């Protein structure tokens, strides 16, 4: 393996680009002696109050060009943790640091002449390197959209299918077949993430549409977006009855982000049967993860780089959750680009799951197609 001696930043520049919702976001272009590396920052429609703070896209671009670029010129991209510390201290907005941090990581992999997922696995340590060899993540496809991701009356945000297969290719085949079949039934109205947004109102109606012997289901409830009246309807008894009736293996944010008591109760009651995944509850923040572990409030982490702002901090969060025996799901955002970084991240950290939206639309399938290529490299 040829490891390049000179892996220092030559230049960084940023620009505004459009995301999948037609909103402006941030793209960073980083140059080293090994080439040019480009990554971009996604954004969420439903964001938690504990996420790292962002700035307006035009301000983030200005901050990268005028503050981050001169600060990082000449820095070694193979020292991810140190570079991330530098940019974090600059207080330039998480949408600025996320794009730069991912580009640094991509450049670091090139400097060591490694595929990005292997480089991330090495950064994580031996236990993750072993997991990466199996191309481990199960793919979770957002088939029906509601909540903040759609204009229908469905309260829950995502109904995801998890095909029970041994390979990502088999999983994609099942998901695409189901997606095409439902398109004939439900029409072409879709939500932000490519899932269908039919004119239905209840979780039961959605779950009936997704019943199949070959799949399990994970629901992103996104309860932090609920009104007080709806929070009373969707209680522990409600979710317990739902799980008895349908093949549900995970609930994401079944309660709002400060409702520790209900998170504790549902984890105690249902945590042996399913994964209770913290998104807004945890915000990919190691301090929130520690608190949730102490309170036994969940047993799964939703991992989003832009929630915390740097790759090294996201990996720290993953390692911490892994040390607790939690499941880890790497996630996209509703406002996405064609950036496929999270596919390599999911494989590199040995994540249990990855969700990247429906098996349709360019910004979603970019991630799934990257997983196919990684799988081909690893298992032929």
Structure tokens at 249: 């293996």
Question: Is the same domain home to 210 and 256?
Answer: yes
280 and 313 together in one domain:
yes
Active-site choice (51, 193, 256, 375): 193
Tally: H helices and E strands in the chain: 16, 11
Domain end point (choices 96, 115, 134): 115
- Please, what is the Cα angle at 44 between 216 and 329, to 5 degrees? 35
Q: Kindly report the CA angle at 56 between 54 and 62, in degrees rounded to 5?
A: 100
275 and 188 fall within a common domain: yes
Strands 248-252 and 275-278 come out as parallel
Segments of the chain assigned E as strands: 11-18, 24-32, 35-40, 138-145, 158-163, 215-220, 248-252, 275-278, 300-303, 327-331, 353-357
CATH of the domain at 72: 3.30.390.10
Contact present, 104 and 80 (Cβ < 8 Å): yes
The mean pLDDT of 120-132, rounded to a whole number, is: 71
Mean pLDDT of the chain: 91
> Which domain covers residue 30, as residue numbers?
11-115
* Other beta carbons less than 10 A from residue 57's beta carbon: 23
Q: Are 304 and 284 in contact (CB under 8 A)?
A: yes
Sign of CA dihedral 335, 94, 251, 324: positive
Rounded to an integer, what distance in angstroms lies between the CA atom of residue 148 and that of residue 226? 10
Q: What are phi and psi of 220, to 5 degrees?
A: -95, 105
Structure tokens at 110: 């090139």
**DSSP assignment of 113-138, as one string?**
T--HHHHHHHHH-HHHHHHHTTT-PE
Asked whether residue 145 falls in the same domain as residue 229, the answer is yes
Q: Which of these three, 73, 96, 115, is where a domain ends?
A: 115
> Catalytic site residue 75?
no
* Same-domain status, 50 and 166: no
**Helix/strand/coil for 140:** strand
**How far apart (Å, rounded) are the C-alpha atoms in residues 302 and 277?**
6
Task: Record the tokens describing residue 214, joined without a space.
Answer: 């070959």
Q: Of 186-195, 273-282, 308-317, where does mean pLDDT reach its minimum?
A: 186-195
Average pLDDT over residues 216-223: 94
For the domain that residue 358 is a member of, what is the CATH number?
3.20.20.120
Token representation of residue 273 = 């049967």
Cβ proximity of 300 and 92 under 8 Å: no
pLDDT of residue 133: 63
Instruction: Tell me the pTM.
Output: 0.94
Same domain for 101 and 247? no
Confidence (pLDDT) at 19: 95
Compute the distance between CA of residue 9 and CA of residue 196 in angstroms, rounded to an integer: 43
Is residue 4 in some structural domain? no
Q: Is the backbone of residue 361 left (phi > 0), alpha (psi -120 to 50) or beta?
A: left
Q: With respect to residue 343, please indicate whether it lies within any of the assigned structural domains.
A: yes
pLDDT tens digits for range 73-112: 999 999 999 999 999 999 999 999 999 999 999 999 999 9
Q: Which residues contact 328 (CB under 8 A, 6 or more apart)?
A: 300, 301, 303, 318, 321, 322, 349, 350, 351, 352, 353
Do residue 162 and residue 309 come from a single domain? yes
Describe the chain by its helix, strand, coil percentages, rounded to 5.
45, 20, 35
Would 1 be classed as within a structural domain?
no
Question: Are both 320 and 252 inside the same structural domain?
Answer: yes
Instruction: Answer whether 246's CB lies under 8 Å from 217's CB.
Output: yes
* Model pLDDT, residue 224: 83
Examine residue 205 and state whether it is found in any structural domain, yes or no: yes
Q: Would 2 be classed as within a structural domain?
A: no
Domain termination site, one of 115, 139, 160:
115
In a domain, 310, yes or no: yes
Query: Worst-scoring range by mean pLDDT, 82-96, 112-126, 271-285, 293-307?
Result: 112-126
Does residue 109 sit in the same domain as residue 126?
no
User: What's the token pair of residue 343?
Assistant: 């596919």
Q: Say whether both 315 and 230 belong to one domain.
A: yes
Does residue 3 form part of some domain? no
Judge if 174 and 43 occupy the same domain: no
Residue in 88, 112, 216, 304 annotated catalytic: 304
pLDDT score, position 102: 99
Residue 332 makes CB contacts below 8 A (sequence gap 6+) with 42, 193, 342, 355, 356, 357, 364, 367
In a domain, 6, yes or no: no
Q: How many domains does the chain have?
A: 2
304 is catalytic: yes
Q: What pLDDT does 283 receive? A: 96
In the predicted model, is pLDDT for residue 161 greater than 60?
yes
pLDDT number for residue 197: 81
Co-location of 134 and 209 in the same domain? yes
Distance, in Å, from the CA atom of 76 to the CA atom of 29, rounded to the nearest integer, reads: 16
Q: How far is 95 from 167, CA to CA, in rounded Å?
A: 33
């Amino acid at each position: 393996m040829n490891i390049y001696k000179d892996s220092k930043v030559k230049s960084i520049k940023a620009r505004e680009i459009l995301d999948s919702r037609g909103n402006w976001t941030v793209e960073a272009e980083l140059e080293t002696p090994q080439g040019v590396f480009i990554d971009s920052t996604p954004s969420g429609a439903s964001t938690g109050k504990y996420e790292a703070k962002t700035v307006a896209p035009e301000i983030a671009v200005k901050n990268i060009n005028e503050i981050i670029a001169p600060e990082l010129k000449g820095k070694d991209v193979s020292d991810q943790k140190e570079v991330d510390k530098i940019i974090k201290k600059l207080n330039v907005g998480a949408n600025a640091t996320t794009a730069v941090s991912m580009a640094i990581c991509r450049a670091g992999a090139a400097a060591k002449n490694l595929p990005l997922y292997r480089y991330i696995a090495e950064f994580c340590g031996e236990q993750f390197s072993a997991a990466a060899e199996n191309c481990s993540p199960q793919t979770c496809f957002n088939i029906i959209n509601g909540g903040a991701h759609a204009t229908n009356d469905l309260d829950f945000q995502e109904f995801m299918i998890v095909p029970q297969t041994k390979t990502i290719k088999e999983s994609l085949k099942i998901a695409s077949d189901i997606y095409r079949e439902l398109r004939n039934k439900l029409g072409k109205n879709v939500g932000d993430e490519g899932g269908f947004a039919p004119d239905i109102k209840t979780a039961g109606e959605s779950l009936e549409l997704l019943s199949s012997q070959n799949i399990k289901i994970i629901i992103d409830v996104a309860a932090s977006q609920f009104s007080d009246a709806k929070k009373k309807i969707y209680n522990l008894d409600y979710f317990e009855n739902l799980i008895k009736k349908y093949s549900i293996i995970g609930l994401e944010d079944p309660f709002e982000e400060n409702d520790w008591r209900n998170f504790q109760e549902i984890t105690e009651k249902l945590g042996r049967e399913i994964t209770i995944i913290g998104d807004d509850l945890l915000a990919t923040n190691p301090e929130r993860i520690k608190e949730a572990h102490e309170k036994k409030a969940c047993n799964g982490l939703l991992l989003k780089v832009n929630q915390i702002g740097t790759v090294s901090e996201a990996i720290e969060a993953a390692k911490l959750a892994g040390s607790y025996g939690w499941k880890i799901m790497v996630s996209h955002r509703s406002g996405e680009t064609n950036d496929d970084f999270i596919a390599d991240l999911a494989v590199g950290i040995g994540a249990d799951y990855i969700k990247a939206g429906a098996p349709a639309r360019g910004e979603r399938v970019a991630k799934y197609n990257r997983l196919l290529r990684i799988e081909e490299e690893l298992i032929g």
